[in-house]
Structure 1
């Protein structure tokens, strides 16, 4: 080949090089177009390879969560969680406005009863909308499960952990999620000096995982947390006093900033959440058991007791266990008790410790675990020490310094233990006394105390600790208008039961009323276990009646007051509610209908049925909700007549309670779908849309096409569209203000713009005042996470808005904002 620039080129080599270079660039050009897909494929391949390498560690973590979950309930010594647990649900927040408002499914409960997150016992019985914990997690939500001590928060976490750990059913989005179930007191000692927020989790898991899983534990945690394939289930935040919650909040903030894609579920207190809400954590109240769920738990307990323990007890004692049907017929499931209290009550009854109230059942539980070895007075002093120290856990040294009697306490060991000690080299020939740490070890063996990281001890349940402390204390250590620590809240609950004269209560109530009615209503929770004619009940009812008679600045305070007194287990309320049913004022007839239904007063049944013909629509629907609480054929027949012959709102109310409240109501709705009356069919269509049964979608699609009446077909189409928007109730992650379309549009109307990082407090306040109803509701959804003092007054004005959706969202928003309350220092 001729010279080129003085170079002698070989012709074959030149053309081979030329063709090779051309092919290289052609291939590179093609690969550049396909590179995103190739990169994603490689990423998935490496991810799959990493998962295979870490599969053993993931399995060990799932098993650890499962084991922890199965023992995380009070009766773990008797039954597994799977056997005894009633599937938990959460009260749904008010649904945000939909873009297509015509597709919203009417919900009669929400039209006549405002959100009552403080009173889930009342809301749950009347069919308030609820979510499963798994549904609440669907949108990568961060959730705080809110509830009183003993309401079942730990069991809810354990139930969710078991579900995720097993992956037995198709969990959809949750199939790849690994549950990490921990107690905050286990990770707390590691918080002061950490470089990576995963370190406390790593150190806590290292204590319980098998040695074979530990070499790859850190790699697994880093990978899973980075990919967002973890659900961190953190128990114990509800046990921490407010002044200690700042450290937990700071740690979680660091964790979520570094690993923003993980899902988080907390067990949280119901009165104060410090800065947790600023982390985008949605507070969801735990739904209380309905009467039917309580009856199911009673039946399940009785069956399991006889199945597992009945024959053993009969062989040892000769006592024949009570028949399941007899127990179910004997125990009234109507009283408002927490799941923990029902457990204690049934345990005492089954074990032969016949008790006529919850206090006796708790006594029986403590005595059963302690036996003759551990003096109860020392245990009471120990509980008081925890309350007065304002710490959920104490070291052995701290306990010895505070409870000096433990140093001289003598406990007699069983004869076989003494013989074993005599044979031990170096042990005394006879040893009937043990030092304080031996006493504490004995309490650990009973299960009344639990051990956490840092060699710290805590009571197995804050409810039990408060009950024991109330046997020695006479007044709460502090008495602000809101007791923010769950232990103090539970202490007041037991103090009023133990000392019903409650000399401190009247001054507390007067101070609470000077601040807000909601603070005052909280005292009715404390009165649930008080004796029938106690002074405490008289003090509360005397101050409640003016509020119920409409002498309140906020109209819906009366409903909250009704819920507060109805859930207080006051037997004298039946007479009051029956009088209200016959009142000339419509509001009182409405309150009486709900109250009599909640108490299931049999003497009020005929009057409730008569209220289905009341001239006031609200009263008629209230009577329908009240009748749905009865399990009498005459009540069910009245509701079916309302479905068939009532006006449209009453038909819808009847269909809703058949779907949400009455057991077996769906069969009546199926039958109603075949009737000739088109209004009955339409109501039945909207009724079955509330059900989660697998056949509902197919049935609605059939009706939307085949029914002969346009009104019914349109109702079915509306129900189908509403089902597609079902996720609107699930907690959503809010977008930043500068990326929120409705707020950008509203700002444009106001002649403003929104820049990244720009404060929008003033703009949101304008939306609350000048926006339309939809903009008001959307603004309230945002201000929950950005509390500002100026919002409160505007929201109180919106409590009197003519649109119930605006009123109810304002009430719910005020509740969320109240959880931002400042810390009340100890006296």
Structure 2
């Protein structure tokens, strides 16, 4: 039977087609309106939800409480608020890591010529290396650990971030409904006495996990308003459950390794229980125990460059004149003279050192321009009357020997009982109460008691108040000591403890301190021991044999050069070893760069002659480092030699020479760079233009003029210089050249520079996916005809990528291999570091440095046949 279509009425058919066409045309026309209406509904719901949150009085009072706390977390809080004196903290931009499989390279002159030294940020500050705000690093989604030596501004960075989030500022890099929780590790009383167990079936449901929040709730209850106490626990638990919590934990950089691990365990449990919580903490470069295993990404705080130091001193002088100079007791000062004197020293002080130097200079109790003098003046200022200096030194020494930066005052009184005031002292109930007493009660009683005992006109005294404060109480009242939960105490800043402990160590054997594990208290005590005595025997002992592969002992002693008196025998010996390390051509540039940074910071007059002598070395990398060294110490005698290096065949030597001449900054030096811009080859012109951005006076004027000259090569080079300036006038000029320049190559280069700014996101740390979900590793496994099982380690495949992959694949493999530092992996890392690939060598060195800081023992590379 033959099939036939049914008869269709033509008129009805076309009417149907017309109706359908009109219907779908109407749907297509109003579809954007539906989408917009849906979007508006979502926005209104979000605004309503946000409005209800803002209407929540407990949240508003909590934000104000955190803001008030953060504004007092800096050394000069007795004089100014944080917002008034703040210099916005910045992070060093690290070399591009391939954690997320996205490879990015850059030809920025600083990344190519100046080695990345997270533990020595002063060299990067001298040459204005790229930095990023903390908010930008947070926007990548990873948890961060702020790395830096004591005094670099880690606490201020956390306080600024807490202030931004408390104010709901979009510039924080976090959602505006985020809630900051800012604590010092001493406030948490770790390790927890009854931590939640992963075996508990309720843990997954979140019941046992709530116990992790108890220390947070207890601490905040001491600070909160009375009206909020009943609702505070639910408010905090809800913030963590909703993923709005930003947990900022300060003080890990002050702890010995075992206590760091206890804090890391707490952070791990907190993250597992509340995965959406964002974490930011602090650490020293050499002490990252347990943090990298939790996928914290380390970022080094940038040191202040000369412009930032001058800006800080201008702020200080203006605030001092406004608030302090008007007091009757204040001495008259000349801000211009004082600021010029404070800026005269070529050394790069830390923010803490510059703050204390400025305070001492303006207060009139400074005794010298060394960083040591400012610290000593501040300690004298905080020392209570009738308290012998030996008391403070003995307390600091005992804290160091006991590895107890956070200490029990009852034990401390035993340490210093010969200096305390036992006759008039009656211990308050808090001194003998059990540690499980009501949180905050004993501390409040002591605070009230001390205040009443020091008040001359007090008409009422509480029954349990101390009748005469002891040494510890007086030190707490003066600001030398800080008080924490469960009656715990610590020095307000670890540098004060290190300074006093190092001074006391002069009359004590150092073997006990040397036997300690590596922690900031040990390093500070040894540093200030070298500042107060001749440590020739100790330095010789530590540097007698090389410590491969990172030369940790030599670089530890090298830090002492900056604070120690000149003309001591050990200084020359250490500098000779540093000069030898700098010339080891087969070692990573980042390792030799640390030797360079130590020589620059030593302020030794012999460093200038050494750098000039190294201009004749056979290795281009040695010449490169020597050029950077001459520029860093502003050696005007090296100008002619640096000008000759502009003709060196090595591009990095040319870059370093341009940077060195610009850093010296004299008229002859700037003229040499200007001549290279006008008459050099195309590459040299670009290096000169990029280097001139570091000289705001003459350099920026040259770039402005160069943007309008007829020479095509000059304008082409100037484009790259303008891209590094980072100021509105430069961006406007760059945008103008992008559109109006008559040569297409200049327009194209301007477009390239503007687009490359987006590559900054390549530096943002993003959470590392499992190997089985990593796109680049899946592609590499496919090329090898292999698969990746999510249940088995991919170590063998990663080692294959490290050995045989492309540059991107080899560097990408290191992010995963770092997590499994067994003997096989370490052998492969050593083979790669001592191989011929310079880029891979530098990344492996950073990985090995992080492994050692995490407590992984690194064997001598010679046992693997290298080094």
The C-alpha deviation readout for 1:497-552, integer Å capped at 9, x for no partner, is 11123422211122553664244223211221111112331231232232233376
| C-alpha deviation, 1:98, in angstroms | 11
Q: State how far apart, in whole Å, the 2-side matches of 1:696 and 1:255 are.
A: 46
Q: Residue by residue, what CA displacement relative to the aligned partner does 1:112-145 show, whole Å, maximum 9, x if unpaired?
A: 3332122111122223332111111001221100
Question: 1: CA distance between counterparts of 2:232 and 2:458?
Answer: 44
User: Which residue, out of 635, 656, 662, partners 2:669?
Assistant: 635
Give the superposition deviation at 1:626.
Answer: 0.9
Report the CA distance between 1:492 and its aligned residue: 1.0
- 2:526 aligned residue (459, 468, 492): 492
CA deviation map 1:172-228 (0-9, x unaligned):
644332222111110125722254222222222121122233343333323332333
CA distances 1:23-49 after superposition (whole Å, capped 9, x unpaired): xxxxxxxxxx99xx7999599569817
- Give the CA deviation at 1:636: 3.2
Deviations 1:687-744 (A, max 9, x none): 3333444676776555444433232233233223322332111112111111111101
1:347 aligned counterpart, secondary structure: helix
Residue pair 2:561, 2:602 contacting (<8 A) in 1 also: yes
Inter-partner Cα distance in structure 2 for 1:548 and 1:148? 23
| Match of residue 358, structure 1, among 371, 383, 392 | 371
Shift of the 515–767 alpha-carbon distance from structure 1 to 2, 3 Å rule, reads closer
- Name which of 323, 332, 335 aligns with 1:308: 323
| Equivalent residue number for residue 184 of structure 2 | 183
Residue 3 of structure 1 corresponds to none
2: CA distance between counterparts of 1:376 and 1:466? 14
Closer/same/farther in 2, CA of residues 366 and 60 from structure 1, 3 Å limit? same
Q: What is the CA-CA distance between 1:235 and the residue it aligns to?
A: 0.6
* In structure 1, C-alpha distance between the alignment counterparts of 2:77 and 2:643, rounded to whole Å: 44
Q: Distance in 2 between matches of 1:222 and 1:153?
A: 27
Shift of 1:404: 2.3
C-alpha distance in structure 2 between counterparts of 1:713 and 1:39, whole Å: 41
Distance in 1 (alpha carbons) for counterparts of 2:415 and 2:737 = 71
Look up the match of 2:597. 563
Residues 438-457 of structure 1 aligned to structure 2 (within 5 Å):
438-457=470-489
- Structure 1 residue 347 displacement after superposition: 1.9
Report the equivalent of 1:814.
848
C-alpha contact (below 8 Å) 1:94/1:808 kept by paired residues: no
1:327 pairs with 2:335: no
SS in 2 for 1:510: coil
Query: Which residue of 2 is the match for residue 18 of structure 1?
Result: none
Gaps of 5+ in 2: 1-33, 196-207, 426-448, 859-867
Partner of 2:393: 380
- In structure 1, what is the equivalent of residue 441 of structure 2? none
Given that 1:115 and 1:811 are in contact with CA atoms closer than 8 Å, whether structure 2 keeps it comes out as no
Taking a change above 3 Å as real, the CA distance of residues 764 and 103 of structure 1, as seen in their structure-2 partners, is closer
Report the counterpart of residue 15 of structure 1 in structure 2: none
Confirm or deny that 1:126 pairs with 2:127.
yes
Q: Is the 8 A contact 2:243 2:275 kept in 1?
A: yes
> Deviations 1:83-121 (Å, cap 9, x if unpaired)?
222221111221146999998542122223332122111
> Residue in 1 aligned with 2:625?
591
Q: TM-score, normalised by structure 1?
A: 0.86
Alpha-carbon contact 1:566-1:599 (below 8 Å) kept: yes
SS in 1 for 2:325: helix
Q: Tell me if the contact between 1:658 and 1:687 (Cα under 8 Å) persists in the aligned partners.
A: yes
Q: After superposition, what is the alpha-carbon deviation per residue over 1:628-679, rounded to whole angstroms, capped at 9, x for unaligned? A: 2234344334333323322233222223233456468555434433232222
Q: TM-score, normalised by structure 2?
A: 0.82
User: Where does residue 299 of structure 1 map in the other structure?
Assistant: 314
**Cα distance change, pair 410–482 in 1 and its aligned pair in 2 (3 A):** closer
Q: Is the 8 A contact 2:737 2:747 kept in 1?
A: yes
Which residue, 272, 277, 282 being the options, matches 2:292?
Answer: 277
Establish whether residue 549 from structure 1 lines up as the match of residue 583 from structure 2: yes
Aligned residues: 784
Does 2:128 correspond to 1:116? Answer: no
From 235, 239, 253, give the equivalent of 1:224. Answer: 239
Matches within 5 A, 1:459-608: 459-474=491-506, 475-476=509-510, 478=512, 484-511=518-545, 513=547, 516-550=550-584, 553-554=587-588, 557-581=591-615, 586-608=620-642
Point out where structure 1 has 5 or more consecutive residues left out of the alignment: 1-32
Pairing 1:33-432 to 2, within 5 Å after superposition: 44=45, 48=49, 51-52=52-53, 55-96=56-97, 104-167=105-168, 173-189=174-190, 191-194=192-195, 195=208, 196=210, 197-312=212-327, 315-316=328-329, 319-329=331-341, 331-356=343-368, 357-408=370-421, 420=456
Distance apart, 1:574 and its partner CA:
2.1
Distance in structure 2 (CA, Å) of the matches to 1:584 and 1:739: 46
